Chains A and B, each alone.
Chain A
Amino acid sequence: MSGVTILVIEDDPAVSQAVAIGLAGYGFTPQVAATGAEGYRQAVGVPAPAVVLLDLGLPDEDGLALCIRIRAASAVPIIILTARGAEHEKVSALESGADDYVTKPFGLRELLARVRVALRHNVARAGPPPPMIRIGELWISLDHRQVARAGTPVHLTPTEFALLAALVHNAGRVCTHRMLLQTIRGAGYGADTALLRVYIAQLRAKLEPHAATPRYIQTEPGVGYRLTGWDEG
């Protein structure tokens, strides 16, 4: 990870300082910007950062607007830092091109996990997807549409498989309700979260060792779902 530049756009010096020290301790090279204008300049500048951490409450610019501006100019992964905990804000940020979010106050491990997932997806975007994906005790072949749990094949309906494929493509990253619904039903089904809950419940029943305490498909309240367990494999 040495030399990988992470841009921290955060107006509170106390937070940005701690984040910068934390990232530096793991060999990243942190860059700090205290305003939206400065942040945008560094985000799209040369050398480009590998990941952008963006605080939504900036002094000079709306965080969401900045997120859209950066996304329009660059494919750099954006992780939102939000102190407000408002779910609708997270959803709008994710739909405006952000890749993930961390809710303040956050621990170093949580932040590092998000940064690593973002970096991995940035690399994965370049090459072809691997033929077999292992997450915990799950083996998933997206090409052959086959799934096995602890060596036993699991039968999934086409919708369940589409849902799982969407989660696998974004493994470790949050997927919003709308994003998942559009994957399985096409555009126009963005609001029917009850339907999504039914499919997720079916998927959990087939894949999770204990459906009540899911290990792979985590609920992100008010936002969506996240496939975790990748790092353990």
Chain B
Amino acid sequence: MPHLLARIGRQSPAVLLLVALLLLAGIGWIDVVTPLAVEPLYLLPISLATWAGGRGGGLVWAGGSAAFLILADFTSRGYATPLLPLWNTLINFSMFLCFSLVLSWARTLTRERLQQEQDRAALLARTDALKTELLQAVSHDVRTPLAAIKTSITILLDTEGHWSSTSQRTLLEGINEQCNRLTRLVGQLLDISRIDGGMLQLERDWYALDEIVPRVIAQLGSVLAAHPVQTACAPDLPLIWLDFTRIEQVLTNLLENAAKYTPAGTPIAVTAHVAEEWIWVCVQDGGPGIPAADRAGLFAPFAARRVPGRPLGTGLGLSIVRGIVVAHGGQITAAPPPDGGWVVQFTLPLGRPGAGPSAARRLQASPGAADGPARSSLPQPQPES
């Protein structure tokens, strides 16, 4: 039966209306020339008309069908009582109502199922695309450091050429740097696959953001050496329910990017303030901004920007940053601010999910309360590789 209905449903509206018209004519003829009680059969053309013409079509058909029925009753049998035609009309319109309800319910169901199938197909396609990109990225990003390592090692093993100890030292330092690059890449690939698979585990606790920011800046030391960094955290920042290492990773990455893509001497500003139920963190630089062509898909994996004379990044950094922020329940955006440069800002929710939005405020009001977090609960610094 559902199969038959589906087949009928696939017909064009014109065919359905034609069938409905023929049915109406046939039933009308039987109704008028025979003494058979075929009034209920009028309901079939109504269902077909509703199917083909939607609610408007069904309503018009139900009215027309009722009028036809009354006319048939009067002409063939000469009923003078108004009750029966009224009853027939009522039946006609009720049938239309019932059928149109059933139909819209069925259509919603079908649409939902179609949507689900499309979603699943889109997810598969995305996973597939990610896999291909991953393979391409791996083949490029792994081979390039490997090429440098291999060439360097074959030089160091060579006994016929002549190299100064300075050159050999440079080669060894290069090998060390390329090993770090590969280690970083493996970590990033693991992160991105965890984020993409929704497997990112956050170790959250209450932390003060205005303690994380100076820490990250201190750790970045040489990277930020050429850039004056200003920090402006609002004095009344509440504690945030976050994963310390991951948010540190977010800030490290944003600051590294700001330093990497702007000329030396460009100032970088980190600000944090509270607005409504969110804490807003902005990393702004006074650099040349990002070319419009590179802005789309800025947060997509493998969207690395090429900077001549610099090894091409994996393009995983911002994608991981977004994954971490989203896992915290926040959002991240990037845009050129009106006063030039580039700004990336992300939000983190105040309070703890499930504990109500006012939890953080309460905690802030009484930081020494028995159930409140201690502001000094920073973890020990992780050894940097």
Q: Is the CB of B151 within 8 A of A109?
A: no
Residues in chain B near residue A24, CB distance under 8 A? 163, 167
Q: Is the CB of A14 within 8 A of B178?
A: yes
Q: Is the CB of B154 within 8 A of A108?
A: yes
In the complex, the chain A residue whose C-beta lies closest to that of B305 is A59
A residues within 8 Å of B by Cβ?
11-15, 17-19, 21-22, 24-27, 34-35, 57, 59-60, 83-85, 104-109, 111
What is the bound-complex CA distance between A22 and B170, given in angstroms? 12
What is the bound-complex CA distance between A34 and B158, given in angstroms? 26
In the complex, the chain A residue whose C-beta lies closest to that of B151 is A18
Question: Of A14, A17, A22, which contacts B161 at CB under 8 A?
Answer: A22
Residues in chain B near residue A57, CB distance under 8 A? 140
Q: Is the CB of A35 within 8 A of B163?
A: no
Residues in chain B near residue A17, CB distance under 8 A? 148, 170, 174
In the complex, the chain B residue whose C-beta lies closest to that of A59 is B306
Interface flags for B149-189 (1: CB within 8 Å of A; 0: not) read: 11110110010111100010011001001100100000000
What is the bound-complex CA distance between A21 and B148, given in angstroms? 11
Q: Is the CB of A14 within 8 A of B145?
A: yes
In the complex, the chain A residue whose C-beta lies closest to that of B311 is A12
Q: Is the CB of B161 within 8 A of A26?
A: yes
In the complex, the chain A residue whose C-beta lies closest to that of B310 is A13
Residues in chain A near residue B312, CB distance under 8 A? 11-12, 59
What is the bound-complex CA distance between A111 and B139, given in angstroms? 21
What is the bound-complex CA distance between A15 and B150, given in angstroms? 9
Q: A26-B161, A34-B309, A59-B308 are in contact. List 4 more A-B contacts (CB 8 A).
A: A14-B148, A18-B151, A18-B174, A25-B155
In the complex, the chain A residue whose C-beta lies closest to that of B143 is A83
Chain B, interface SS category: helix
Q: Is B144 an interface residue (CB 8 A)?
A: yes
What is the bound-complex CA distance between A105 and B155, given in angstroms? 13
In the complex, the chain A residue whose C-beta lies closest to that of B168 is A21
Counting chain A CB atoms within 10 Å of each CB, the highest count among B139, B147, B148, B171 belongs to: B147
Chain A, interface SS category: loop
Residues in chain B near residue A22, CB distance under 8 A? 151, 154-155, 158, 161
Q: Is the CB of B148 within 8 A of A107?
A: no
What is the bound-complex CA distance between A107 and B306, given in angstroms? 27
Question: Of B140, B150, B163, which contacts A106 at CB under 8 A?
Answer: B150
Q: What total of A-B pairs shows CB separation below 8 Å?
A: 103
Q: Is the CB of B147 within 8 A of A109?
A: no
Residues in chain A near residue B160, CB distance under 8 A? 26
B residues within 8 Å of A by Cβ?
139-140, 143-152, 154-155, 158, 160-163, 167, 170-171, 174, 177-178, 181, 306-312
Question: Of B145, B151, B167, B181, which contacts A107 at CB under 8 A?
Answer: B151
Question: Of A19, A26, A34, which contacts B308 at CB under 8 A?
Answer: A34
What is the bound-complex CA distance between A169 and B147, given in angstroms? 31
Could you list some 20 contacts between A and B, CB below 8 A? A11-B309, A11-B311, A12-B144, A13-B311, A14-B144, A17-B148, A18-B174, A26-B160, A26-B162, A35-B308, A60-B306, A60-B308, A83-B144, A85-B143, A104-B146, A104-B150, A105-B143, A107-B151, A108-B151, A108-B161
Residues in chain A near residue B309, CB distance under 8 A? 11, 13, 34-35
What is the bound-complex CA distance between A127 and B381, given in angstroms? 69
Q: Is the CB of B147 within 8 A of A105?
A: yes
Q: Is the CB of B171 within 8 A of A21?
A: yes
Task: Given A11-B312, A13-B311, A83-B143, check contact A19 B306 (CB 8 Å).
Answer: no
Minimal beta-carbon separation of B290 from chain A (angstroms)? 16
Task: Given A13-B310, A15-B151, A19-B151, check contact A25 B161 (CB 8 Å).
Answer: yes
Counting chain B CB atoms within 10 Å of each CB, the highest count among A34, A57, A59 belongs to: A59
Q: Is the CB of B148 within 8 A of A12?
A: yes
What is the bound-complex CA distance between A183 and B178, given in angstroms? 44
In the complex, the chain B residue whose C-beta lies closest to that of A57 is B140
In the complex, the chain A residue whose C-beta lies closest to that of B153 is A107
What is the bound-complex CA distance between A21 and B147, given in angstroms? 14
What is the bound-complex CA distance between A105 and B170, given in angstroms? 19
Residues in chain A near residue B163, CB distance under 8 A? 21, 24-25
Residues in chain B near residue A108, CB distance under 8 A? 151, 154-155, 158, 161
Please list the 5 inter-chain residue pairs (A to B) with the smallest Cβ-Cβ separation, ordered nearest first.
A25-B161, A105-B150, A104-B147, A14-B148, A107-B154
Question: Of A34, A84, A111, which contacts B140 at CB under 8 A?
Answer: A84
What is the bound-complex CA distance between A27 and B167, given in angstroms? 14
Residues in chain B near residue A34, CB distance under 8 A? 308-309
Residues in chain B near residue A60, CB distance under 8 A? 306, 308
What is the bound-complex CA distance between A165 and B288, given in angstroms? 58
Q: Is the CB of A111 within 8 A of B158?
A: no
Residues in chain B near residue A14, CB distance under 8 A? 144-145, 148, 174, 177-178, 181, 311
What is the bound-complex CA distance between A11 and B152, given in angstroms? 17
In the complex, the chain A residue whose C-beta lies closest to that of B163 is A25
What is the bound-complex CA distance between A15 and B170, given in angstroms? 12
